[in-house]
Chains A and B, each alone.
Chain A
């Protein structure tokens, strides 16, 4: 849900192959912030079966999804994870057993996507820095790599990520704002961008050195594409 345009959202929706995709929003990383939930429905409710799941207000009913969270999530075409604090989000997910449900959804073929924390969470390891000092975080581990987002947003980010990879963090992928990494299974299928100048990189340790390789980026216009699986965007 970028503010300017919905081109990455359209791309992700196209991956489901559904005419009217069932999409569920997880705003956990924001503390289930109301305005984020409203933004989600504004963006998706006209052309999708949109729902959201609040893990902070499960006792109050009437708003998001209640009762059988697993059945609801497993019946989606797309699960959209909002941005925010990835450490808090993963803690809450684990407490509600959602880590396991999301793993099952992924194996079942549900497309998983999200910006920022909603990207970091799918990887084995991630650099979380947007909301505090840089920190190495263990994600759900669906994708056996590390991830760094907002790569161009702060000058220190590149050095921090290289430092961690050099320090033994898994090799992985870094993405500028507006750039999405599309994985099919655990293989990077494609890198797409809503910006003309966005970049993404493979960052890996080779011998004693950390090597960064620029990846080919497809700059999206309004075209329909069909593919599947995890899309992580910065």
Chain B
């Protein structure tokens, strides 16, 4: 979710067969901040989809089992934050296993920043302060580093990791770039911003071999169908408010 640019999110919704895809947001990497949850509903609430979120800090809100909740989605969308915490919390709740099953069952897995890198064998995290290599779930072969332009201190750490073999070869993506994989295969590279790029980097005999990828710029043509009717949007707003009010009363422990 880029704050002012919905192109990648709109593109995501075109990738499933459903007219109203069920999209589940996992704000785990942020510590389930309301800011991130609200931004998700602000973006997806008025679009042709069925948005919900899953907080692993407030499981009291959950009506079905974690596994059911994950498996019944069309899209799982993972927010950014601490990749180390994200993976640790998922593992503690066995969500890593459930997400793998979901992926094998055809659920589209998506995310930004930590939520993008987590699917790969490795990435670069600032979870402990300075950027450093970290292992991911390994659903996708190779490594990914994000914010190649926005947080330039990550890139040299990633390149060094690929060169010395601590990380497998992989992709570096600028802000606004989306990499679409089908199975293990990179199928398409898209971008919401003119000028944003990506590169594939591998180590060959201790040298880095870099290939620049030219993303396709997303435009109005990628957006799906007409916007929702006003009354549907109104109903969604009511549901959202109700959910927020329930959320308030179920807040994590007030000792």
Interface set of A (CB-CB < 8 Å, partner B)? 1-3, 29-33, 36, 55-59, 61, 66-67, 82-85, 87-88, 90-92, 94-96, 115-118, 130-132, 177, 233-234
User: Do B89 and A66 touch across chains, with their CB atoms under 8 A apart?
Assistant: no
Contacts A31-B33, A32-B31 given: A95-B253 contact, CB under 8 Å? no
Please give, as numbers and ranges, the residues of chain A lying within 8 Å of B57 by CB-CB distance: 29-31, 84-85, 88, 131
B62, CB-defined interface residue at 8 Å = yes
* Stretch touching chain A among B78-86, B172-180, B221-229: B78-86
Shortest CB-to-CB span from A234 to chain B, Å, is 8
Q: Which of A59, A94, A234 contacts B127 (CB 8 A)?
A: A59
- Where chain A touches its partner, the secondary structure class is loop
CA distance A116 to B62 in the complex (A): 20
- Where chain B touches its partner, the secondary structure class is loop
23 contacts between A and B (CB under 8 A): A29-B57, A30-B31, A31-B30, A31-B252, A56-B30, A56-B81, A58-B128, A59-B126, A67-B129, A84-B57, A85-B58, A87-B92, A88-B57, A91-B89, A92-B89, A94-B88, A95-B84, A95-B87, A116-B255, A118-B255, A131-B252, A132-B59, A233-B255
Contacts A1-B255, A33-B31 given: A91-B88 contact, CB under 8 Å? yes
Q: Which of A1, A33, A83, A87 contacts B93 (CB 8 A)?
A: A87
Shortest CB-to-CB span from B251 to chain A, Å, is 8
B56, CB-defined interface residue at 8 Å = yes
User: Do B60 and A131 touch across chains, with their CB atoms under 8 A apart?
Assistant: yes
Contacts A88-B57, A130-B60, A131-B57 given: A83-B129 contact, CB under 8 Å? no
Q: Which of B32, B58, B62, B88 contacts A95 (CB 8 A)?
A: B88
